[in-house]
Amino acid sequence: MGRFGVSVATLAGLGLVAGLVATAPASYSVDYPPDPSPTATVTPTASPSVTESSTATATASASPSVTPTPTETLIPPPPVGGATVTLGGAPIGVTITEDRTAGIVLISNGALEVTVDPRSPGGRPLPLDASGTPIVNVGGEVQSTGRGFVPGSPVNFYLIAGSRVIFLGTLEVFTDTTFAGSVPIPGDLAAGTYTLQVNGLTNAPQGSGVTSRARPGEVVTQVISISINVVVTEPSAETKAVRTLVYFDVLSAKLSNQAKKSLDRLIAKIPDKSRSNRIRVVGFVGPSPISSNDESLSRARARSVAAYMRSKGVKGSYRLVAGGVAKGGATARRADVTVQPINR
């Protein structure tokens, strides 16, 4: 799909960010709100600006002069197969790339990127419909990645239908400006067409054409909001195996709160935690010019996942694999988890 939306000046130095839907004025200055109650799970992101190695150092964006808080904003529904994207409240042009078979939509503008990747309750990818609209399952999840966001800031996800706004969860931005994770879709959600909205923060440098309030050399933090249509359906019957991905920060094997929430959702789908299950966990690291820690770090990530699942009472045969280097940015820093219940 080509470009659409209203193009403003080219966002020099910005990478695309995801945020479905609208926002606050560029001069709006507020504190971050407390963590919202529905929780999200972390998912992959686009290529980060730092590599993962024993000597890597994450480079954060310049300190923002204001910190607007992402909040849900009702906007006109986006076009079918398209997106409505605003930066600081002003519409911007974006490029949309679809993988209809895998069911992934990429929304991008330069270095800012966001992917939307809906999954079934069992973790199966859901193909796009004939118009290029993502299919979302009741009780499933939406995996998402992004880059070009303010490190440590929240990325909030919503579903909107008419005047009804449903908060799905929050993903936190890593130190390299990327985020990755998943947010759950409520099990009691009515089928129908909704607007999926993602709101986050990005730093817009003076002279980028997106703000007139910045002084020379100043960086202004603004809300980026992305909205696309999705179709919510009931899930079809599928195999009993359940799967998920959990993501890690640069050089870390520690499970974040978002990673734990992703695992909690996976565990809730296991028919019987106390019976003999087959659990396979494959840890990965991101590409790096230094490979000395590839195996140890990827194995440590797999072990962290297994230890958490055991602490939650998941019994069975655990197979831990050091997968080494995976392709991608933040999405490479992950563990792939599969649980296959054994029938008796």
What pLDDT score does 240 carry? Answer: 66
- CA-based nearest residue to 61, from 111, 25, 95, 22: 111
For the residues 316-320, what does the mean pLDDT come to? Answer: 90
What pLDDT score does 291 carry? Answer: 84
What pLDDT score does 105 carry? Answer: 96
**For residue range 117-176, what is the model confidence (pLDDT) as tens digits?**
999 888 888 999 988 999 999 988 999 999 999 999 999 999 999 888 899 999 999 999
Report d(CA 65, CA 26) in Å as an integer: 11
- How many CB atoms are located within 10 Å of the residue 161 CB? 15
- CA-based nearest residue to 294, from 344, 247, 251, 242: 251
- CA-based nearest residue to 186, from 256, 243, 230, 121: 121
For the residues 62-66, what does the mean pLDDT come to? Answer: 41
Third-level CATH fold of 242-341? 60s Ribosomal Protein L30; Chain: A; (3.30.1330)
Interhelix angle 257-268/294-311, nearest 10 degrees: 50
Type and span of the H or E element at 184: strand 178-184
Locus of tokens 């809730």 = 268
Are 227 and 78 in contact, with CB atoms under 8 Å apart? yes
- How many CB atoms are located within 10 Å of the residue 61 CB? 21
pLDDT at 198 over 90: yes
Type and span of the H or E element at 200: strand 192-205
Report d(CA 324, CA 342) in Å as an integer: 28
What pLDDT score does 133 carry? Answer: 93
For the residues 78-92, what does the mean pLDDT come to? Answer: 86
Are 10 and 209 in contact, with CB atoms under 8 Å apart? yes
To the nearest whole number, what is the mean pLDDT of the chain? 77
> How many angstroms separate the Cα of 179 from the Cα of each of 175, 251, 280, 318?
9, 15, 24, 28
What pLDDT score does 191 carry? Answer: 94
For the residues 218-230, what does the mean pLDDT come to? Answer: 89
Please state the domain extents for the chain: 3-233, 242-341
What pLDDT score does 236 carry? Answer: 80
Report d(CA 181, CA 33) in Å as an integer: 20
- How sure is the predictor about 264, in pLDDT bands with cuts at 50, 70 and 90? very high
